[in-house]
Amino acid sequence: MTKVYVGMSGGVDSSLTAALLVERGYDVTGVYMKNWTQDMPGMRCPWADDLADAKRVAVQLGIDFKVFDFENDYKQKVVDYMIDEYRNGRTPNPDIMCNQEVKFKLFLDTALEDGADMIATGHYAKVKDGVLLQAADTNKDQTYFLYRVTGEALTKTLFPLGDFTKPEVREMAMQRGLYTAAKKDSQGICFVGKIGIREFLSQYVDQKPGSVIDKNTGKVLGQHDGAIFYTLGQRHGLDVGGGLPYYVVGKDMDKNEVYVTTDLNDGALWKTDIKLSNVHWINNTPAAGNYQIRVRHRAKLVQADLSYEADGVRLKLANTERAVTPGQSVVIYDDAVCLGGGIVI
């Protein structure tokens, strides 16, 4: 009997994942990954509640349950990475780094060492022979967050929810009477919950007032409390008065200046040419040519021509894409297959 360790977060997706695998005859062990336990001002970290919920479901299913403590590794490999990227003026995606470094490396390795044959998670994705495929529910598809996982790791991974929509998952959990069937999905930063990135970063970086400057006129329009808190295309939180809305089109981290414009057609907001570094391919390196790309989670797939350069990959788009931001990921597809991707320069 194949022994599978299921990452159980205390949510409905991972709960149903465990239930389905039990029904399919696997020897299932539930594992709660203790990644983050720190409270934020005015926000209690929900980890203890999530752990309790995961335990309750494990008891319901009659499966063994373990806790893997990854908090130190998580702080170094995900949280510190995220803070450093923001300090350098980029906009990272911590969920992608969590999947790369924790769930499909640290969790996988620890599970295998502990006697598991495979791992499973509640991600909306499909895997076949180490190839990552988009989920049936295109609205919930999470392959964007999984593009830095290795093909080798995927050969030891199960994604039981890949063929279902979110409403179907809720219904199936209800039918089975799972404790977490009606639990709301978590929002906000992946590891903290209902907290915004500004509130989180404020715990680690000093607020440093600086100027908000009109890119076209050079006029100082107001003050901000740190260029680190602003990202390309941002409209809210600028506090620069009435009239037309302003959008962030750039920033200088050394000068601590944020540049804005009211011109929605400003070239800095739109790109047809994207350069990627830190490129990762899940399986084989694809040939240069035409593929589909996703510039952010839930963005539509758009056509792009991929070519290779000495220091990375260049993507030429048929149409412009808005607010393609340094530090974020662009993920590359060949129809349903997720090939990999890279970080926007």
**Is the separation of the CB atoms in 306 and 313 below 8 Å?**
yes
In degrees, to the nearest 5, what angle opens at C-alpha 94 toward C-alphas 122 and 205? 145
Q: Where are the beta strands (DSSP E) in 81-216?
A: 118-120, 126-128, 131-133, 157-158, 210-214
98 is catalytic: yes
Q: Please report, in angstroms and rounded to a whole number, the separation of the first and last CA atoms in the chain.
A: 47
Dist. CA 13–CA 22, nearest whole Å: 15
Give how far Cα 108 sits from Cα of 152, 153, 252, Å.
Answer: 11, 8, 40
45 is catalytic: no
Dist. CA 345–CA 338, nearest whole Å: 21
Q: Which of 190, 248, 249, 339 is catalytic?
A: 190
Q: Max alpha carbon distance in the chain (Å)?
A: 69
Length of the chain: 345
- Residue 24: CB atoms within 10 A of its CB come to 12
Q: Which of 4, 63, 98, 173 is catalytic?
A: 98
Dist. CA 152–CA 86, nearest whole Å: 31
Dist. CA 252–CA 19, nearest whole Å: 50
Nearest CA to 256 among 329, 206, 300, 191? 206
Catalytic residues: 98, 190
